[in-house]
Structure 1
Amino acid sequence: MSRRRKVRIKWFRLAVIFIFGYFMYLIVGQQGQLSAIEAENKAARQRLEQAAQVNASLIEERNKLNTPAYIEKIAREELGLVKPGEVPYIPAAKN
């Protein structure tokens, strides 16, 4: 083989290796981006699930607030209201 042909083959091999390396770099980079996006997606799903739970509890609370028994319970416990003729009972503080 002539020296020129050997040099041409070396450059071809070098070019093929370089192109292969570049494609590997792109693939690895995309895998990293994909992993980051999947982690972000998982976090967003968890936030969505938590928001759905909070929403469900708020809907339940709203439905309870439409019942007279729950309104009375809140009025007695949180506001300290009593019905006419009732005597409020306040326990003594423990020392």
Structure 2
Amino acid sequence: MRRKYRINWFNAILVAFAAYFSYLIIGQQVELFIAKRSAEVAQAQFEQARQVNRALQEEKARLSNLQYIEKLAREDLGLVKPGEIPYIPMEK
């Protein structure tokens, strides 16, 4: 005698619900991971911007010092005071 195969609808619906909720949970975990990575990248960019800002603030403070401004003018721009003779080394 052959057994007749019957679908147990309760178990089928239970499996369908479990699959659906698993799909939702996995989707939310993926979105959470992406959001967490975005937050980490934004935090790294923020820290880098903070360091740049700190360096610019220090440069601004140095630019209020007349000796530093003179040093920059002499070294970077090649400026001289009136009456001085500029020295330009010859390259070989």
TM-score by length of 2: 0.88
For structure 2, the 5+ residue unaligned runs are 1-5
In the TM superposition, residue 93 of structure 1 has moved relative to its aligned partner by 1.3
Alignment equivalent of 1:43, drawn from 35, 41, 44: 41
In the TM superposition, residue 81 of structure 1 has moved relative to its aligned partner by 1.2
Segments ≥4 residues shifted beyond 2 Å: none
Structure with the bigger percentage of helix: 1
Alignment equivalent of 1:61, drawn from 56, 59, 62: 59
CA RMSD of aligned residues (A): 1.6
For structure 1, the 5+ residue unaligned runs are 1-6
- Give the distance between the partners of 2:90 and 2:32, measured in 1 at CA: 63
Alignment equivalent of 2:69, drawn from 68, 71, 79: 71
In the TM superposition, residue 57 of structure 1 has moved relative to its aligned partner by 0.4
TM-score by length of 1: 0.85
Number of residue equivalences: 88
Q: What's the % identity of the aligned pairs?
A: 49
**Amino acid of the residue matched to residue 72 of structure 1?**
E
